[in-house]
C-alpha cells in the first residue's frame, strides 16, 4: 500500500494509513512501517508502534521542558505529550498543510510526534533492509534501527524509544503528572 498525500489528498491518505494501522494491529503483521517526511528527508517507524495519525492539535506548553517538547494535548480524555521530531533531530522544519502528528505507543506511555507529512505505509522485503551504518558522531545515533533501500532513496527507520533521552522521558512523565494533578 503506497498512498501519498500529494497524490490523493491528505484526508484520503490518513484514511488509508488508519486502515493499515487497524489491520496491522489485528493481524500482528510485523514488517510494515509508516513513512513520513522531516524536512527534505524521509523516515519511517514500525506501524505496530503507531496508534493513529491526527491533524496538528492545540497543545498546552509546559514550562522548563526541552525545546523540542511542544507541550501536552487532550486526545479523547487522555493527556498526551507532543514532541517536534524535527527539532529533536536538528532538522529544519518544512511546515505546510500536510503537517501531522503521529500518536505512538512508547512502552507504557503514549506520545505525539510532529512530522512534516505522512508519505505512505511501506512493507519492505528483507533484501531492502540494511543494518544502520557505523557513524562517527558526538551525538548518539542509536535511534536508527535500520535503513530501507527504496528505489530512488534511502529511508532511515527510527526506534522512537531510543530517540528519547532521559530528559525527554522526564519531561513526558512530568507533563502527564502535572496535568493529572490539575
CB 56 within 8 A of CB 114: yes
State residue 95 phi and psi, 5-degree precision. -70, 140
For residue 61, the SS3 value is coil
Q: What is the DSSP letter of 128?
A: G
pLDDT at 8: 34
Distance between CA 110 and CA 50 in Å, rounded? Answer: 10
pLDDT at 64: 87
pLDDT at 181: 46
Q: In terms of Cα–Cα distance, which of 122, 105, 103 is closest to 30? A: 122
CB 45 within 8 A of CB 158: yes
Strand ranges in 24-84 using DSSP code E only, listed in sequence order: 33-38, 41-46, 50-55, 69-75, 78-84
Q: Topology of domain 5-181, per CATH?
A: OB fold (Dihydrolipoamide Acetyltransferase, E2P) (2.40.50)
pLDDT along the chain (182 residues), means of 10: 38 61 56 92 93 94 90 93 91 82 88 93 90 70 88 91 76 57 47
Amino acid at each position: 500500500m503506497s498512498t501519498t498525500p500529494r497524490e490523493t489528498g491528505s484526508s484520503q491518505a490518513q484514511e488509508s494509513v488508519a486502515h493499515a494501522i487497524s489491520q496491522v494491529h489485528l493481524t500482528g503483521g510485523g514488517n510494515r512501517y509508516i513513512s513520513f517526511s522531516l524536512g527534505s528527508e524521509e523516515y519511517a517507524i514500525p506501524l505496530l508502534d503507531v496508534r493513529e495519525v491526527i491533524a496538528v492539535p492545540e497543545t498546552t506548553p509546559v514550562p522548563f521542558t526541552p525545546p523540542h517538547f511542544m507541550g501536552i494535548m487532550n486526545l479523547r480524555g487522555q493527556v498526551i505529550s507532543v514532541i517536534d521530531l524535527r527539532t529533536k533531530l536538528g532538522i529544519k522544519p518544512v511546515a505546510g498543510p500536510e503537517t501531522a502528528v503521529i500518536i505512538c505507543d512508547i512502552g507504557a506511555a503514549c506520545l505525539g510526534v510532529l512530522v512534516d507529512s505522512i508519505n505512505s505505509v511501506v512493507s519492505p522485503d528483507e533484501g531492502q533492509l540494511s543494518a544502520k551504518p557505523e557513524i562517527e558522531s558526538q551525538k548518539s545515533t542509536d535511534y536508527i534501527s535500520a535503513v530501507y533501500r527504496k528505489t530512488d532513496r534511502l529511508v532511515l527507520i527510527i526506534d522512537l524509544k531510543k530517540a528519547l533521552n532521559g530528559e525527554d522521558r522526564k519531561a513526558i512523565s512530568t507533563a502527564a503528572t502535572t496535568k493529572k494533578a490539575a
